[in-house]
Each structure stands twice: as C-alpha cells, then as structure tokens.
C-alpha cells in the first residue's frame, strides 16, 4: 500500500502538487494497479480522489482512484469510463478515454486546465500542429520567465492539419495535465480573418484572439503619388471609422510625446497611413465588436497583427493604427507590426540588425504610450539574433509566436527514431516545396539544400540545421501530414518514443526563451 494515497484521498480541495519522490512512488503503485504507465507529474489530488494520466502503448487514458461511496454511485461527474476494483486498499479505479467529453469534465474539476487571459505578462505562443508537443513546451516554459500561450493555431493551419479548434484546445489541455502545469496558460485563435473564424474559436473556449486584417492593407499606398493617395482618402470607409478626413488631420496635428522623444506626423505621413491602414482599422473594429458580443462578458484578449503584409509598418503608421483603434474603443493586449527586415519561417532574422534595433525601439515607445501593450513577434521561432534586442528594449512587453518550429523538432525526433521515414519525408518535401511555398514567406532553394540520400543516419539531423532544408521541411508540413504514406507512420514514430520529441522541444525552446530571462522559481515549483 502506498503511503501517499490515503492522504491524497482525504483532500476535497485541490491539494498541492506532490514532491517528486512521492509522485514517482505513487505513479509506480498506480501503474501497477492500472496497467498504464502513469505520468508522475499528472497526479492531482482533489474531490477525495486521485486523478492521473497514463499511457498503454500509444493510447493515453485518464485514471481516477476513488472510494465507491465517493461520489455516491462512483465517478461519473460528467466522466465516461469503466470502473474496476483495485488492490489499492479496496478503492475503485475509473479509466476514461481522452475524449472531448472527458476533457470537458476534467476542466470543470480543475480550473488550471482552463485557458485564461495573461494580460501584460511576457509571453510565448507555442503552436502545436501535431497535438503532441505541449509537454515539451511546458518543460521549456517551466525553466523560463515566459507565460505560455499553448493552444495557438490559425484557421489556415487547422485546414492543413485537419483539426478543429476544439481538438487543438483539448490536445493542449491533456499536455498541461500530463506535465502538471498549474500556473495558467492562454489559448490563441491565431490569424482570424472573418467573424465566422471568431465564432468557431469562441465556442472552443479560446481566450486570445489574433485579428489579421492584412487583406485590408493597401500596400500600393506606400509608394503611390499624391493624387492617387487623395483618391484613396476619399474612398476610405469614413462611416465605419466614425470620423472624416478633416477631423483625422486635426487629431494628428500636434507633436506626439513618446517619452524619450516626440514625433511630428507630417501631412504626407498621415495621408499614407490613412490610405494604407484605414480599412485595416475599420475591419479590426468590426472584428473586435463582434468578438465582444460573442464573448458576452467572458474575459478575452485581442492581438492585432499586420505582420503578413508586404510592406513595413512605419512609426507613423503604427501611431495612426494605435490612436484610431483606441479612439474607436478597441482594447488590445498586443500588436504585431510588419517589422523591417525578413522574418522567414523557421530561420534566423534576415536583415540589418542595427536597423531592426532602431525601429523596434521606436515601436516600443509607441506601445508604451498608447497602451501599454505587448509587441508581438510573429514567425518568431529561430530568430535567435533578435531575442536579446527584443528582450532588452521591450522588457515585459513582448509576445513571441512560434509554431512551425515544433513540427521541425518532430522531424528531428523522427530522424532519430525512424531514419528511413525521415529520408522519405525529406525527399517528398523537396518535390512539394515549389508548390507549397506559395502561401509562405520563404526563400530557400531546393538545389542548395543537402539531400538526405547523401547523408548517413547519424548525419540526418544536420538537415534541421540547414537554412534551405529547414524552410523546405517547414512549409511542406500540410502535404506531409495529409499524405497517406506518411501520416500514420509519422504519428506512430513520435508516440512510440515521445521522450525523444519532448527532449528535443525542451532543448530547442530553452534556447528561444533563455534570452528573455530565467524562471525566478525553482524548477518543479
Ligand atoms: Zn503571424
């Protein structure tokens, strides 16, 4: 009989996490009696029961140990499973599949499994296209000073991976439970383009909404001559902007105090900013108001992102956007301008770092003056040369979004556990790249990427460190995951040896988060 169990069962309220030794011992007793391999950190005591996650083969199950009289009639409480008597002091064990119903039931017992707004805490968005990466993300977050936004997924990604917002949410939740992470997390409905996108994500409980009005950016305004700009101003959506051009000019007439410096918007700046981003502001307001009504009083936070537009967001344009959104009553927690230089997928920053630093510093000044709000770095993975600058200048006011790099780490794990599969995927990715690159901002060339066929098994992982091979593998994820020859073996390889994947993620994200400062708490707290 395990000594910890009786204590756990005494507790109706959520008990403190077990210390590592106790958790390991109880996990081994629970493993023996359930036939599952129990994750020690998942063990959670409350409701006079012990909840845990375990795996058998590649299937995971939720286990609940309880007495027959608690609750009367055993454990539904919304849980669906099968109960059996155990050798654990005569207590019963209910085993439940990781279904959406059981996920919802578990959320109703443990509030730490429900995503929540994180406010102005420095944060990292850890997108997970596979639904397997959350435990690895948590391990890296635990050692960092970042607050995690875990279920981060765009509608485009969902279309490519065949997942729904609810599945994304549930996969992240099971990962949080597996790792016993109780410090809270956000859930990012990323790159929402229309109100229908908002509705499906709100229904799944997302808390962080990234509005992407980049389709409404008028890139032509960047270089258009005066008469063309004037025509654009006349055609601006003034009714939706609840203002006119005269009033707009008067609002920006005085120099704007940005703390360290002040900025005088000249007539040309304002003309261009209004022509380029007027429709963006109008669309964002429309989306915000829709979101507000759908959320119906439930807390949420909003990010506004124009990172996926062709032309750089200038300081004047950032000021215009922030001032106008504020005037129209929009509240936002972060904003993603299109920064100077190139943020290509899965590779380091391409461009002049001192130029980036200078412009980022000014964007920070705007974010502090009109917010404060966080500056968001989209396509933020692998931008190792940018992190020290962003951390130093923005301090807490930064949100770092990553997504595809978790898929690349999955490939790194597959290169280790199933080299043959990795070779096939990388050959296929080379074929698909010319087609799949169309909707991405990448510049890799197939001819410049090393071929897996020329590498030994031990060398395969070096492809994940090559600029060209990385981008090729990055943008072809949808084609790989939807390919009948790859889909099942891909997931089977990762599930079969999940520690390899978790460790790759922890190391990789550890490198991302380190420049932003270490955890002030001891590991395991
Ligand atoms: Zn983005």
Residue 355 pLDDT: 98
Mean pLDDT over the full length of the chain: 94
Ligand 1 center to residue 379 CA distance, Å? 6
Joined together, the tokens standing for residue 492 give: 């089977």
Residues 280 and 393 placed together within one structural domain of the fold: yes
The answer to the question of residue 204 being in a domain is no
What is the spatial distance between Cα 211 and Cα 217, in angstroms, rounded to a whole number? 13
The answer to the question of residue 487 being in a domain is yes
CA 456, 407, 433 angle in degrees (round to 5)? 75
Predicted confidence (pLDDT) per residue in 212-222, tens digit: 999 999 999 99
Residues 82 and 180 placed together within one structural domain of the fold: no
Residues 259 and 334 placed together within one structural domain of the fold: yes
| pLDDT(6) > 80 | yes
Active-site positions read 190, 303
SS (H, E, C) 425-454: HHHHHHHHHHHHHHHCCCCCCHHHCCCHHH
Residue 74 pLDDT: 59
What is the spatial distance between Cα 120 and Cα 13, in angstroms, rounded to a whole number? 30
Q: What's the mean pLDDT in 3-17?
A: 92
The answer to the question of residue 197 being in a domain is no
Ligand 1 center to residue 308 CA distance, Å? 6
Under 8 Å between Cβ of 193 and 155 = yes
Joined together, the tokens standing for residue 362 give: 């000014």
Residue 111 pLDDT: 97
Q: What's the mean pLDDT in 259-285?
A: 96
Residue 2 pLDDT: 78
Residues 369 and 340 placed together within one structural domain of the fold: yes
Q: Which of 59, 50, 32 lies closest to 92 in space, CA to CA?
A: 50
Q: What is the pTM of this model?
A: 0.94
Residue 88: which pLDDT band, with cuts at 50, 70 and 90?
confident
Residues 516 and 443 placed together within one structural domain of the fold: yes
Residues 500-513: b if buried by 16+ CB within 10 A, e if exposed: bbbebbbebbeebb
User: How many C-beta neighbours within 10 Å does residue 251 have?
Assistant: 15
Predicted confidence (pLDDT) per residue in 408-454, tens digit: 999 999 999 999 999 999 999 999 999 999 988 899 999 999 999 99
List the end-to-end C-alpha distance of the chain, in Å, as a whole number.
27
* Domain's final residue, options 384, 400, 416: 400
Q: Which of 64-73, 134-143, 224-233 has the lowest mean pLDDT?
A: 64-73
The answer to the question of residue 229 being in a domain is yes
* Domain's final residue, options 346, 377, 400: 400
Ligand 1 center to residue 233 CA distance, Å? 28
Ligand 1 center to residue 375 CA distance, Å? 12
The answer to the question of residue 203 being in a domain is no
Residues 393 and 410 placed together within one structural domain of the fold: no
What is the spatial distance between Cα 378 and Cα 24, in angstroms, rounded to a whole number? 39
Residues 363 and 408 placed together within one structural domain of the fold: no
Ligand 1 center to residue 31 CA distance, Å? 42
Residue 525: which pLDDT band, with cuts at 50, 70 and 90?
very low
What is the spatial distance between Cα 243 and Cα 236, in angstroms, rounded to a whole number? 10
Count CA atoms within 13 Å of residue 61 on its CB side: 21
C-alpha to C-alpha distances, 218 to 70, 211, 233, nearest whole angstrom: 62, 17, 11
Ligand 1 center to residue 191 CA distance, Å? 6
What is the spatial distance between Cα 41 and Cα 53, in angstroms, rounded to a whole number? 9
Residue 96: which pLDDT band, with cuts at 50, 70 and 90?
very high
What is the tally of structural domains in the chain? 3
| CB contact set of 157 (below 8 Å; sequence gap of 6+) | 127, 129, 190, 403
Under 8 Å between Cβ of 333 and 303 = yes
Question: Which DSSP state fits 164?
Answer: -
| pLDDT(523) > 80 | no
Ligand 1 center to residue 307 CA distance, Å? 6
Residues 217 and 148 placed together within one structural domain of the fold: no
What is the spatial distance between Cα 120 and Cα 434, in angstroms, rounded to a whole number? 40
Enclosing domain of residue 162: 110-192+403-525
Residue 350 pLDDT: 96
What is the spatial distance between Cα 36 and Cα 38, in angstroms, rounded to a whole number? 6
Residue 310: which pLDDT band, with cuts at 50, 70 and 90?
confident
CA 328 and chain centroid, separation? 28
User: How many C-beta neighbours within 10 Å does residue 241 have?
Assistant: 20
CA 294, 298, 299 angle in degrees (round to 5)? 115
Residues 135 and 84 placed together within one structural domain of the fold: no
Higher model confidence: residue 268 or residue 70? 268
Give the gyration radius of the chain's Cα atoms: 25
Which helix (H) or strand (E) segment holds residue 473: the answer is helix 467-475
Predicted confidence (pLDDT) per residue in 26-77, tens digit: 999 999 999 999 999 999 999 999 999 999 998 999 999 998 776 655 566 7
Percent of the chain with pLDDT over 70: 98
Residues 249 and 278 placed together within one structural domain of the fold: yes
Residues 245 and 310 placed together within one structural domain of the fold: yes
What is the spatial distance between Cα 219 and Cα 51, in angstroms, rounded to a whole number? 54
* Domain's final residue, options 381, 400, 419: 400
The answer to the question of residue 460 being in a domain is yes
Residue 206 pLDDT: 97
Residue 77 pLDDT: 77
Residue 73 pLDDT: 55
The answer to the question of residue 99 being in a domain is yes
Higher model confidence: residue 61 or residue 160? 61
Residue 522 pLDDT: 47
CA 132 and chain centroid, separation? 13
Residues 236 and 362 placed together within one structural domain of the fold: yes
Predicted confidence (pLDDT) per residue in 469-503, tens digit: 999 999 999 999 999 999 999 999 999 999 999 99
The answer to the question of residue 506 being in a domain is yes
């Amino acid at each position: 009989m395990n000594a910890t169990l009786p204590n756990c069962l005494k507790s109706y309220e959520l008990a403190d996490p077990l210390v590592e030794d106790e958790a390991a011992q109880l996990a081994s007793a629970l493993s023996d009696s359930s036939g599952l391999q129990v994750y020690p950190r998942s063990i959670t005591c409350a409701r006079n029961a012990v909840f845990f996650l375990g795996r058998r083969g590649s299937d995971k199950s939720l286990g609940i140990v309880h007495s027959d009289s608690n609750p009367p009639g055993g454990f539904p409480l919304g849980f669906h499973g099968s109960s059996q008597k155990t050798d654990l002091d005569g207590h019963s064990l209910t085993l439940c599949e990781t279904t959406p119903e059981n996920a919802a039931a578990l959320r109703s017992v443990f509030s730490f499994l429900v995503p929540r707004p994180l406010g102005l805490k420095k944060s990292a968005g850890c997108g997970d296209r596979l639904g397997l990466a959350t435990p690895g993300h948590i391990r890296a977050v635990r050692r960092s000073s970042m607050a995690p936004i875990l279920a981060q997924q765009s509608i485009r990604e969902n279309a490519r991976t065949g997942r729904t917002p609810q599945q994304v949410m549930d996969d992240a939740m099971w990962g949080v439970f597996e790792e016993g992470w109780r410090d809270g997390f956000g859930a990012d409905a990323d790159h929402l383009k229309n109100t229908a996108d908002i509705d499906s994500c709100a229904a799944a409980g997302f808390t962080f909404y990234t509005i992407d009005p980049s389709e409404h950016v008028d890139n032509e305004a960047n270089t258009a001559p005066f008469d063309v700009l004037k025509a654009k101003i006349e055609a601006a959506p003034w009714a939706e902007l609840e203002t006119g051009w005269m009033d707009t000019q008067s609002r920006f007439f005085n120099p704007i105090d940005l703390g360290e410096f002040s900025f005088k918007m000249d007539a040309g700046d304002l003309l261009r900013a209004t022509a380029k981003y007027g429709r963006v502001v109008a669309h964002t307001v429309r989306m915000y108001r829709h979101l507000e009504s759908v959320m119906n009083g439930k807390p949420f936070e909003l990010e506004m992102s124009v990172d996926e537009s062709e032309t750089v967001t200038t300081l004047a344009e950032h000021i215009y956007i922030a001032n106008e959104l504020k005037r129209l009553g929009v509240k936002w927690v972060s904003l993603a301008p299109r920064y100077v230089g190139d943020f290509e997928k899965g590779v380091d920053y391409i461009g002049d770092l001192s130029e980036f630093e200078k412009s980022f510093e000014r964007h920070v000044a705007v974010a502090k003056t009109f917010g404060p709000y966080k500056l968001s770095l989209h396509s933020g993975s692998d931008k190792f040369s940018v992190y020290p600058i962003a951390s130093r200048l923005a301090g807490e006011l930064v949100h770092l979004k990553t997504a595809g790099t978790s898929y690349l780490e999955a490939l790194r794990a597959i290169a280790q556990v199933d080299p043959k599969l990795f070779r096939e995927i990388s050959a296929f990715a080379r074929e698909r790249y010319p087609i799949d690159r169309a909707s991405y901002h990448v510049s890799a060339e197939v001819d410049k990427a090393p071929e897996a066929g020329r590498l030994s098994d031990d060398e395969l992982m070096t492809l994940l460190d090559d600029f060209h091979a990385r981008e090729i593998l990055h943008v072809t994820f949808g084609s790989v995951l939807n390919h009948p020859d790859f889909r099942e073996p891909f997931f089977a390889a990762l599930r079969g040896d999940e520690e390899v994947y978790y460790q790759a993620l922890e190391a990789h994200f550890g490198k991302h988060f380190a420049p932003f400062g270490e955890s002030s708490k001891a590991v395991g707290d």
